[in-house]
Structure 1
Amino acid sequence: MATNTEIPTLDDDGMIPAYVAEPEGNPRGAIIVQQEIFGVDEGIRRKADQWAAKGYLAVAPDTFWRQQPGIELSPYDEGEFQQAVGFMMKHDFDLGIRDIEAVIHWIRREKHVEKVGLVGFCMGGRVAYMAAARTDIDASVGYYGVMIDQMLNEKHAIARPLMLHIPTEDHFVDAAAQKAIHEGLDDHPKVTLHDYPGLDHGFAAEIGARRDEAGAQLADSRTEAFFAAHIG
């Protein structure tokens, strides 16, 4: 994994590896790019580079660094896919959100960028929801987030804008879960939900067969406008 930075944890008990993409000139804001279960792979680095090209400081932290830093696994290889699921199952999401908080602090303190957003995919979509509820992130976006329906008891704590992209044929987030998310969040003043009829999990992946070009471009355009409004 092409990490190029290390960020201290909140308790200074370790260093979080991260891929950082710098914009030309002063950043208009910062975007944390939260990985899927497959690591900070080429697709996640490409997303970070794209945000940097749009003028943002982009930071993609290595979520599983406490288990095994630097993993890059493929969603198309069954053995590697199961490995990735194993990493997610063992991941301490509560501790992981503290790592996200550490990244936010580092961006503001060391990089002198005040406005910080987060965009996450799959497992990272869940992290986007958790960050909105548990940190002072300025805005968050989740793509096909998993298990959000099980965390609706935290929705009262969402004080900053959150956008969720929901493919209706997501084979990891069934119709009942999607219904619960809509019933729980449709009337939340800080939350915007977008459905993508007929699309499946991973439709906005940068690489591989999961990508749906039209769906990805629509969702990404909404995300870009959202961050332009709330981050700068």
Structure 2
Amino acid sequence: MADILDIDTLLRFYFRLNVSQKYMLELLAYKHQIVISRRTLQRKLKNIELYRKKNKTDLIQVTAFLQKQMEKSGCLHGYRWMYTKCCIEGLVVDRESVRVLLQIIDPDGVELRKSRRLRRRIYFNYGPNYTWHIDSNDKLKPFGIFINGCVDGFSRHIIRLQASGGGMARSIAYYFIEAVKCRKGCPRIVRTDMGVENTVLHKMQAFLRRSHQDNRAGNNSVMC
């Protein structure tokens, strides 16, 4: 059984990921062997001042964050994905507020997304091994298999493509290091989604780039 500090840390982590109380109880029980009642969970959330409807982030701060995200992704992301990004960033805001803000600051993007038409994006890459794109597919997880691949963003060369039956996070990290050894160096940027299975990989990439002097050193060498 974890102590109170560990439980509080887990609650803050899952709260930031916008996990519901029901799912939070299941995660605590099955992943961390911490069995508590819903009433106890609510009391603990109250003690560490984690509220969904109180202490909301100022809308000006939320708007600034949304505009910054739009500079990176353009008008590709809808309000549901932007709402998830706000939660991961630690902003306390409801989904409806994000939807209304996007309608105000990006009306053209909202109309384009409503049309449900694919639009070709402009992709630019500085050269070979500048950006590696890494992604996983777990559709075969019921059979004990998951697929992970890595592509060089400049040449579209497939750096690796493996199917594994082991732990996803451990296997992804292992394949990444093997690719780095094979190429005798890491890329300047690793781009993945925000799945928890990529956490170890992000730390390894940041460690490999920790001593570089360019603007993509350390944690800046990871993009999600």
Structure with max Cα Rg: 2
TM-score, normalised to structure 2's length? 0.26
Determine which structure has the larger strand proportion and give its number.
Answer: 1
Determine which structure has the larger helix proportion and give its number.
Answer: 2
Higher relative contact order (CA 8 A, sep 6+): 1
